[in-house]
Chains A and B, each alone.
Chain A
């Protein structure tokens, strides 16, 4: 298990998602988004607790607008869970830890 959260860019996104062995939760965020910052520590906690079942990665929408556009992200934070390379679950808006874990329960 790793537990570290990596940052994906336009260049690394597809490759990382396609080659992942388990589910990958991608957090679309930006520096100027308050609710995004509010859930960052929760994602850190989930990453360290569930690191063996779930990979968490971040996409900064300022740096990688193309990826956000491709997945029709129109609100942040948006979390998209990719399973076998395909988007399988989408959570829009900041949530508390218990609520988030419940949303993700079928994958972890």
Chain B
């Protein structure tokens, strides 16, 4: 007989692990299904695992490394008795309670676990461009992880695509190694926070290519260049870069919930106003999977706390 847990938390970024800390302290013995290692942000610990200095998380006046922060979150959750399994959820049945949660074979008759309440914190992952050669050249010039791969682009010319905080952070980080970093953005201004923008403008290794999009990725065995188009006059040109880092935004990891949980057209889960409740009773959503506006570690953690408290009170009411 499959065991039934009071709370299962799916995902292990700031939202999921904060929910784990709170529900563990409420003696709910939560089970966290944290995901599997990958070189994208879809991995245990989430997007912060691919970042360097986190300078805006309160409590760390000198900043902290993203992966270190997540190791701390995890240790804090474990300290209070959260159980963490390194696996990926492959299916959830929301149609009856306790909910069925599968890891491994999604077609197995019996679920791997059952849960009275569920906290969904599967986060979001980086968007790719979706053009030819991109996937084939990952690891051969096209990168999903600046902190992993920057080292291999010493004295080379790299392109970073995007205009938000992630793009600026990657571009700034990559100047430690690269000779030149061209930041390609489809608009004529950045969306990144002002302090990050200023840092990028002050960095003499960063050049800006405004109003441009990438249309072509070239290279047989490794990246040799890209083709760009100016969106204001449609003029096309080539850029000789050996590295390409894409930071054009995120999509929520909600594929498992299609047809079961209410979501916006963009795929983000919909929660009740001022709450983490989803349309299914006993199921709560927190962090970037339901937030396409703030998307900060601190707001994710805050909503994780809300989800845990809401789940706890709901369980008490049963």
Contact = CB atoms under 8 A, between A and B. Distances in A.
Contacts of B86: 96
A36 B38 CA distance: 9
Contacts of A38: 37, 43-45, 49
Nearest to A90: B139
B144 A93 contact: yes
Contact of B37 (A61, A73, A95): A95
B152 interface: yes
Interface residues of A, number: 28
Contact of A35 (B43, B140, B222): B43
Given A32-B147, A35-B37, A93-B38, A74 B87 contact: no
B37 A75 contact: no
B110 interface: no
Contacts of A94: 37-39, 43
B139 A95 contact: no
A101 B139 CA distance: 20
A105 interface: no
A75 B148 contact: yes
A64 to B, nearest CB: 13
A72 interface: yes
A68 B151 CA distance: 11
B67 interface: yes
Given A30-B151, A35-B43, A75 B67 contact: no
B125 to A, nearest CB: 13
Given A34-B67, A99-B36, A93 B147 contact: no
A1 interface: no
A39 B147 contact: no
A33 interface: yes
Contact of B148 (A33, A96, A99): A33
Contacts of B147: 32-34
A76 interface: yes
A2 B77 CA distance: 35
A36, A74, A98 — most chain B CB neighbours (10 Å): A74
Interface in A34-51: 34-39, 42
A78 B153 CA distance: 16
Contact of B39 (A68, A93, A99): A93
B149 interface: yes
A4 interface: no
Contacts of B66: 34
Contacts of A68: 152
Nearest to B221: A72
A6 to B, nearest CB: 22
A35 B49 contact: yes
18 contacts: A30-B151, A33-B147, A34-B45, A37-B67, A38-B43, A38-B45, A72-B140, A73-B152, A74-B140, A75-B143, A75-B149, A76-B148, A92-B39, A93-B144, A94-B39, A96-B86, A97-B36, A98-B104
